[in-house]
Amino acid sequence: MATTDKKQATRTTIDELNEKLSSAEQSVEKNKKKILYAVIAAVAVVAIGFWAYYGFYQNKVSETKELVGKADAAKMEGQDSMALKLYKQAAEGYGKFANRANLEAAIILFNQGKAADALTYLEAYSSEESLIGSMAQTLKGDCNVNLKKYDDAVACYEKAVKVADGNKMLVPFAMYKKAIVLAAQNKHAEAAKVFEEISNQYPAFAPHGQGGLDIQKLMEQEKFRAAGDK
């Protein structure tokens, strides 16, 4: 009798374990479905968000392009104040046109004598194109000169040389500006060295066109001043 009760108890325990395992499996299956649905929902939300943002971005790019077009037209008509206003608005926009708007705004501001404001827009501008990139760096140097930040100006001119990709007009032009700033800082030996490099590597370069300053004479002048400093 005791043996029968023991077997019955064992069977009952096994049955209970089987029921628990079966219940656990069902719970896992339900959770799998819930997780799958949650993942699908999350992917759907991300996809919807992406396309919504893409549509928003494209609209903003189009608006920015339109603003730059209006600014360009105003600039061509000599309406610099209106052009500047539109370029500033475009600079707050999106895409490559917003980037160009930063440069255009900087040029107008510099010509208006607002070097600090121009520099702010130049800092926001970036270019992978060597010629425009070099000119932008040269303009940054000019802004720093006007702000009497001569070391920063020299650094900008040096960067302008590097990004100019060997252009025979832009490279010596940036070097010339660098030498002028060095001379103004009484760094005559350094200035003479830069003038000499221009003379040797770019003999046809004339800072202000034909009949302009003679690089050779500027070099000799700085060498003479450097000798006087000794």
Same domain, 113 and 155: no
Distance between CA atoms of residues 95 and 99, nearest Å: 7
Residue 182 neighbours by CB distance under 10 Å: 23
Domain contains 134: no
Statement: residue 123 has pLDDT above 70: yes
Percentage of residues in the chain having pLDDT higher than 70 = 72
Domain contains 94: yes
Q: For 165-219, write each residue's pLDDT tens digit.
A: 999 999 999 999 999 999 999 999 999 999 999 999 999 887 765 455 689 899 9
Q: Where are the alpha helices (DSSP H) in the chain?
A: 2-76, 80-91, 96-111, 115-124, 130-146, 150-163, 170-184, 188-201, 215-229
pLDDT score of 72: 95
The CATH number covering residue 76 comes to: 1.25.40.10
Record the pTM: 0.74
- Give me the domain span that covers residue 207: 150-230
Helix, strand, or coil (residue 209)? strand
